[in-house]
Structure 1
Amino acid sequence: MRLPSLVAAAALALGAGVSAHAQDTEVTLRFQHFVSPNSANPKYFIEPWAEKVAADSNGRIKVEIYPFMQLGGSATAQYDLIRDGVIDGGWVIPGYQPGRFPEAEALELPFMTPKLGEEASMAAWDYTQEHLLDDFADVHLIAAHMHGPGLIHKKGPAVREVDDLKGLKLRGPSRPATLLLRKLGAQPVGMAVPAFPEALSKGVVDGGVITWEMSPSLKLDELTDSHTDVAGDDALYNLFFIWAMNKDSYAKLPDDLKAVIDANSGMFASAWAGRAHDTGDADGRAAMVASGNEIAEISPEVTEQIRALGDDVTAEWIEEVTAKGLDGAKLVDDANAAMDRYRGTVTK
Structure 2
Amino acid sequence: MTSSFRLGLGAIAAAAAAAAGMATQAAAETTLKLSHFLPTVHGIHTDFIKPWTEQVTACTDGEVQFEIFAAGSQLGNVARQQEQVMAGVVDIAHGLHGIPRGRFPRTSVIDMPFLTDDAGAATHALWTMLPDELAEEYDGLKVLALHAHNGGLIHTSEKKVETMEDLDGLRIRTPSPAVSEMLTFLGATPQGLPPGQVYESLQRGVIDGTVFPWDPVASFGLNEVLKYHLDAGAYTVSFFFVMNENSYNSLSETAQACVDKYSGDALVSNFGDWWDAWDAPGRQGAIDAGHEITELSDEERERWRETLAPMIDGYLEELKADGVDNAQEIYARMQELVAEYAASN
Stretches of structure 1 lacking an aligned partner (at least 5 in a row): 1-9
Kindly indicate whether the alpha-carbon contact (under 8 Å) linking 1:153 and 1:208 is maintained by their aligned counterparts in 2: yes
The one of 113, 122, 125 equivalent to 1:110 is 113
1:47-78: CA deviation from partner (whole Å, max 9, x where unpaired)? 22122222222332222222115133631111
Aligned length: 328
Stretches of structure 2 lacking an aligned partner (at least 5 in a row): 1-11
Q: Give the TM-score normalised by the residue count of structure 1.
A: 0.88
Q: CA deviation at 1:22?
A: 6.6
The one of 89, 97, 102 equivalent to 1:99 is 102
Provide the C-alpha distance between the structure 2 equivalents of 1:340 and 1:180, rounded to a whole number of angstroms.
Answer: 22
Q: Give the TM-score normalised by the residue count of structure 2.
A: 0.89
Residue 335 of structure 1 corresponds to which residue in structure 2? 334
The range that moved more, 306-315 or 162-171, is 306-315
CA gap of 1:85–1:274, structure 2 versus 1, over 3 A, is: farther
CA gap of 1:54–1:73, structure 2 versus 1, over 3 A, is: closer
Kindly indicate whether the alpha-carbon contact (under 8 Å) linking 2:69 and 2:76 is maintained by their aligned counterparts in 1: no
1:23-68: CA deviation from partner (whole Å, max 9, x where unpaired)? 9822221211111111121122112212222222233222222211
Amino acid at match of 2:237: L
Residue 124 of structure 1 corresponds to which residue in structure 2? 126
CA gap of 1:187–1:193, structure 2 versus 1, over 3 A, is: same
Percent of aligned pairs with the same amino acid = 29
Root mean square deviation, CA, Å: 2.3
Amino acid at match of 1:72: L
Q: CA deviation at 1:157?
A: 4.2
Q: CA deviation at 1:20?
A: 10
CA gap of 1:183–1:339, structure 2 versus 1, over 3 A, is: same
Provide the C-alpha distance between the structure 2 equivalents of 1:295 and 1:277, rounded to a whole number of angstroms.
Answer: 19
Amino acid at match of 1:101: F
The range that moved more, 37-46 or 293-302, is 37-46
1:281-303: CA deviation from partner (whole Å, max 9, x where unpaired)? 12221122112111111111101
CA gap of 1:23–1:259, structure 2 versus 1, over 3 A, is: farther
Provide the C-alpha distance between the structure 1 equivalents of 2:97 and 2:266, rounded to a whole number of angstroms.
Answer: 21
Residue 135 of structure 2 corresponds to which residue in structure 1? 133
Higher RCO (C-alpha 8 Å, min separation 6): 1
Provide the C-alpha distance between the structure 2 equivalents of 1:205 and 1:72, rounded to a whole number of angstroms.
Answer: 26
Amino acid at match of 1:68: A
1:218-238: CA deviation from partner (whole Å, max 9, x where unpaired)? 2221111011112xxxx3111
Amino acid at match of 1:266: G
Q: Report the 3-state secondary structure (helix = DSSP H, G, I; strand = E; otherwise coil) of the residue aligned with 2:294.
A: strand
Q: CA deviation at 1:311?
A: 2.1
After TM superposition, which residue ranges in structure 1, 4 or more long, deviate above 3 angstroms? Answer: 17-24
The one of 282, 291, 294 equivalent to 2:292 is 294
Provide the C-alpha distance between the structure 1 equivalents of 2:147 and 2:311, rounded to a whole number of angstroms.
Answer: 22
1:239-283: CA deviation from partner (whole Å, max 9, x where unpaired)? 111011122221110001100001111122123244322210122
